[in-house]
Amino acid sequence: MTDELKLKISLLPESPGVYRYYSRDGVIIYVGKAKNLKRRVSSYFNKVHQVVRTNILVKNIHDLQYTVVNNEEEALDLENSLIKEFQPRYNVLLKDDKSYPWICVTKELYPRVFMTRDALRKGAKYYGPYPKAETAHVILDTIARIYPIRNCSHHVSRETIEQQKHRLCLQFHIKRCEGCCRGLVEPEVYGRYIDEVKSILNGDTKSVSDYLKSEMEHMAAELRFEEANELKRKYLAVEKLRVRSAIVSPTIHNIDVFGLVRDEDSSACIHYMHVRNGSVVQSFTLEYKMRGVGETDEELMSLGFQEIRHRFAETYKADRVREVVVNVLPDVEFDGLEFAVPMRGDKRKLLDIAVKNARQYITDKLNRMEKLNPEQRVTRTLTTMQRDLHLTTLPRHIECFDNSNISGSSPVASCVVFRNAKPSKKDYRHFNIKTVEGADDYASMSEVITRRYSRLLQEGEELPQLLVVDGGKGQLSVAVEALRGLGVENQVAAIGIAKQLNEIYFPHDSVPLYIDKNSETLRVIQRLRDEAHRFAITHHRKQRGKKQVASVLDGIKGVGPATKVLLLKQFKSVKRIRQASVDELAAVVGPVKAKLIINALNQQA
CATH of the domain at 569: 1.10.150.20
- What pLDDT does residue 467 have? 92
C-alpha closest to that of 10 among 33, 39, 36:
39
pLDDT-derived band at 387, boundaries 50, 70, 90? confident
Same domain flag for 41 and 133? no
Helix (H, G, I), strand (E, B) or coil at 435: coil
Greater pLDDT, 93 or 85: 85
Closest to 581 in 3D by CA, of 561, 565, 601: 601
How far apart CA 391 and CA 383 sit, in angstroms, is 10
Residues 129 and 174 in one domain: yes
- Choose the weakest-confidence range: 92-106, 321-335, 415-429, 525-539: 92-106
Distances (CA, A) of 547 to 66, 542, 550: 59, 9, 5
Last residue of a domain, one of 86, 118, 150: 86
- How distant is the alpha carbon of residue 422 from its chain centre? 23
- For residue 219, give the nearest of 230, 228, 209, 211 by alpha carbon: 228
What type of residue is 283? S
What pLDDT does residue 211 have? Answer: 78
State the maximum Cα–Cα separation within the chain, in Å, rounded to a whole number.
126
My answer on whether 408 and 534 are in the same domain is yes
Residue 529, pLDDT score = 87
End position of a domain, from candidates 311, 338, 368: 368
Lowest-confidence region among 325-334, 429-438, 490-499: 429-438
Q: Are residues 134 and 222 in the same domain?
A: yes
As a whole number of angstroms, the distance between CA 104 and CA 198 comes to 10
> Are 530 and 398 in the same domain?
yes
The CATH number of the domain holding residue 77 is 3.40.1440.10
**pLDDT digit string, tens, across residues 183-231:** 888 999 898 888 878 877 766 667 667 877 888 999 999 999 988 887 8
Please give the pLDDT value at position 465: 92
Q: How confident is the model at residue 96 (pLDDT cuts 50, 70, 90)?
A: very low
Q: Do 107 and 224 share a domain, yes or no?
A: yes
Pair (535, 559) in one structural domain: no
Total count of domains within the chain: 5
**pLDDT reading at 132 higher than 80:** no
Q: Which of 133-147, 281-295, 380-394, 539-553 is the most confident on average? A: 380-394
Backbone angles phi, psi at 331, to 5 degrees: -90, 5
Report yes or no on 568 lying in a domain.
Answer: yes
Q: What is the mean pLDDT of residues 153-171?
A: 87
Q: Residue 41: inside a domain, yes or no?
A: yes
If you average pLDDT over residues 153-164, what whole number do you get? 87
Looking at the chain, the whole-number percentage of residues with pLDDT higher than 70 is 85
Give yes or no: residues 287 and 196 share one domain: no
Range 152-177 average pLDDT = 87
Residue 275 lies in a domain: yes
Lowest mean pLDDT among 38-47, 370-379, 512-521, 551-560: 551-560
Q: What residue ranges in 407-492 does DSSP mark as E strands?
A: 409-419, 422-423, 429-432, 466-470
**Whole-angstrom Cα distance, residue 599 to residue 374?**
66
Task: Pick 36 or 2 by higher pLDDT.
Answer: 36
Residue 97 has pLDDT above 70, yes or no: no
Instruction: Determine the average pLDDT of the residues in 369-385.
Output: 78
pLDDT for position 246? 42
Parent domain of 72: 3-86
Tell whether the model's pLDDT for residue 305 goes beyond 80: yes
500 and 556 inside one domain: no
* SS3 state at 34: strand
The pLDDT value given to residue 287: 82
Q: In this predicted structure, which of 147-151, 218-222, 335-339, 517-521 has the lowest mean pLDDT?
A: 517-521
| Cα Rg of the chain, angstroms | 36
Residue 31 has pLDDT above 70, yes or no: yes
Sheet order of strands, 323-326 included: 279-289, 267-276, 255-263, 323-326, 338-340
Domain assignment present for 384: no
- Given a cut of 60, whether residue 292 has pLDDT beyond it is no
pLDDT for 121? 64
Q: What is the pTM of this model?
A: 0.45
Closest CA to 567 of 557, 555, 580, 549: 580
Specify if 94 maps to a domain: no
184: phi then psi, degrees, rounded to nearest 5? -80, -5
- Both 535 and 411 in a single domain? yes
**Residue pair 528/422 in contact by the 8 Å Cβ criterion:** no
* Amino acid residing at 388: D
Binned at pLDDT 50, 70 and 90, residue 94 comes out as very low
Claim to verify: residue 64 and residue 197 sit in the same structural domain: no
pLDDT of res. 399: 93
Amino acid type, 162: E
How sure is the predictor about 277, in pLDDT bands with cuts at 50, 70 and 90? low
> What is the reported pLDDT for 119?
56
Is residue 379 in some structural domain?
A: no
* Domain membership flag for residue 402: yes
The model's confidence at residue 555, banded by pLDDT at 50, 70 and 90, is: low
Q: Are 466 and 591 members of one domain?
A: no
Domain of residue 302, CATH code: 3.30.70
Say if 547 falls within a structural domain.
no
Q: With 0-12 CB in 10 A as exposed, 13-18 as middle and 19+ as buried, what is 603?
A: exposed
Of 306, 338, 368, the residue at which a domain comes to its end is 368
Q: How many CB atoms lie within 10 A of CB 186?
A: 10
Mean pLDDT of the chain, nearest integer:
81
Report the pLDDT value the prediction gives residue 95, as an integer from 0 to 100. 42
Is the pLDDT at 102 greater than 50? The verdict is: yes
